[in-house]
Amino acid sequence: MRYLHRGAVLAMALAIVTACAVGPNYRRPQFDAAASYKEQDGWKPSEPGEAGSGGPWWRIFNDEALDELERQIDISNENVKAAAAAFEEARALVSQARAGFWPLVSATGSRQRTVMGSAPPHTTNRAGVAANWDLDIWGQIRRSTESSRASAQASAAALAAARLSAQAALASDYFELRAQDQLQTLLSDIVAAQERSLKIAENRYRVGVAAKADVVSAQTQLLSSQAQQVNAKIQRAVLEHAIAVLLGQQPAAFSVQAATMRSDVPTVPPGLPSTLLERRPDIAEAERRVAAANAQIGVARSAFFPSLTLSGSDDYTGGTLAKLIRTSNRVWSFGPALAQTVFDGGLRRAQAAQARAAYELSVDTYRQTVLAGFEQVEDELVTLRVLEQQASIEDAAVKAAREAENLTLNQYKAGTVPYSSVIAAQTTRLNTEETALTVLVDRLTASVAMIEAVGGGWNGSQLR
């Protein structure tokens, strides 16, 4: 009967624990997304192999060197590793909160030897077990666990956001570096052309059909291009150093071999605005922060209600260890304890107000994060569309500039135009080719930014 009585007590305690939880149940903040993006008109539909169709997003660029670098981000980038550590900390806090559901059991033991005057020494041995169980009548532990779980999910989303940010930064720096490689090739071509022009000017001066000024102008133009060629190496080195740091390496021990830059730009479909809320990790993080703050309201409200604790102990006290565990030496106790704060100077009301304000703050932050996400997608859509139009114009301009350079040089050989016309034509060609290269790298980095804007293939279901 005694065991049945104890079982009934435990069953009743469990029933009380699961009775209720004060505070509002969580409801995700509503956000009415537009049916489509404003800048999406004329955008190409998604096709197999494009971003978001599965696999690491950077593979759509078909660059093996970039693939190899991107694979190192997870294990080497310090920001990603810090976010991973923060996530592990948040997971540990969930386990810590869950521990509150269980009783705290402790074992005690002591041995004390007492001497009083001339009386023989007396030895007292004690051993026992004590347990305390804070019953979660008002849901304080449940709300705290709920908050910790949501915070852990927010940390998981923050980890995904840090990883995506590092990946995007690496890809952008990589394409900028490849642009510098392409610029070096372009400048080498320009320098070679100007060296040929200088020889033509020298030959014409030697036979007396050109002025010394033509030779000096050709030399000046050549030296200027050679100086630009040397200066371009600075930016490449800076970008190489930036990539090294992104990969958690010292710049002194890192290098990227020069290579040809790709000339095609992949299509990145934006999807629907309504799906962006589930595709961007920063939005998911902000939403999970709202859930965590909502649960904290319940934690604060539970402080207004009394707490109930079940305490019990089972101790043995005796003179010798051999005879310690006997019924005659046993002392046990079991009973509930009820506690209610009577006066706290307004502390609990202030804590409840703080929890409510923190919740409102998290909601506003969430809405602002969503708006910023929509803004970024719209920005990249218009950027990619305009850059595509500009690229077509620049390609035509490059062809025209090259043809004009050849025609002008032939006219100079024939003596029909001054050398200043050659300089102007070569300068125009260089500027046009540089602009076309800038547009190309801008399109590639804008594609990376678009991929980042739509979440890089991430999905909120990964948090569940």
Please determine, for residue 2, whether its predicted confidence score (pLDDT) is greater than 70. Answer: no
Q: What is the C-alpha separation between 342 and 347, in angstroms, rounded?
A: 11
Please determine, for residue 1, whether its predicted confidence score (pLDDT) is greater than 90. Answer: no
CATH says 103-135+306-339 is which class? mainly beta
Q: What is the C-alpha separation between 315 and 319, in angstroms, rounded?
A: 14
For the entire predicted model, the pTM comes to 0.86
The first and second tokens of residue 329, run together, are 């030496």
Q: What is the C-alpha separation between 8 and 133, in angstroms, rounded?
A: 16
Please determine, for residue 53, whether its predicted confidence score (pLDDT) is greater than 90. Answer: no
Instruction: Sheet with 307-318: list strands edge to edge.
Output: 104-114, 122-135, 307-318, 330-339
Q: What is the C-alpha separation between 217 and 427, in angstroms, rounded?
A: 13
For the chain, which residues make up each domain, given as ranges?
A: 21-102+149-305+347-463, 103-135+306-339
Q: What is the C-alpha separation between 333 and 348, in angstroms, rounded?
A: 33
User: Beta strands of 213-321 (E only): which ranges?
Assistant: 307-318
Helices (H) and strands (E) in the chain, counts: 10, 4
CB of 22 closer than 8 Å to CB of 139: yes
Please determine, for residue 18, whether its predicted confidence score (pLDDT) is greater than 90. Answer: no
Q: What is the C-alpha separation between 451 and 269, in angstroms, rounded?
A: 9
| Phi/psi-derived region of residue 52, left when phi > 0, alpha when psi is between -120 and 50, beta in every other case | left
Between 428 and 48, the more confident residue is: 428
Candidate from 13-22, 77-86, 387-396 with smallest mean pLDDT? 13-22
Q: What is the C-alpha separation between 121 and 320, in angstroms, rounded?
A: 13
CATH superfamily of the domain spanning 21-102+149-305+347-463: Outer membrane efflux proteins (OEP) (1.20.1600.10)
- Tally the residues of the chain: 464
SS3 333: strand
pLDDT digits (tens, 9 = 90+) for 372-418: 999 999 999 999 999 999 999 999 999 999 999 999 989 988 889 99
Q: What is the C-alpha separation between 409 and 416, in angstroms, rounded?
A: 10
Q: What is the C-alpha separation between 98 and 142, in angstroms, rounded?
A: 8
CB of 353 closer than 8 Å to CB of 337: no
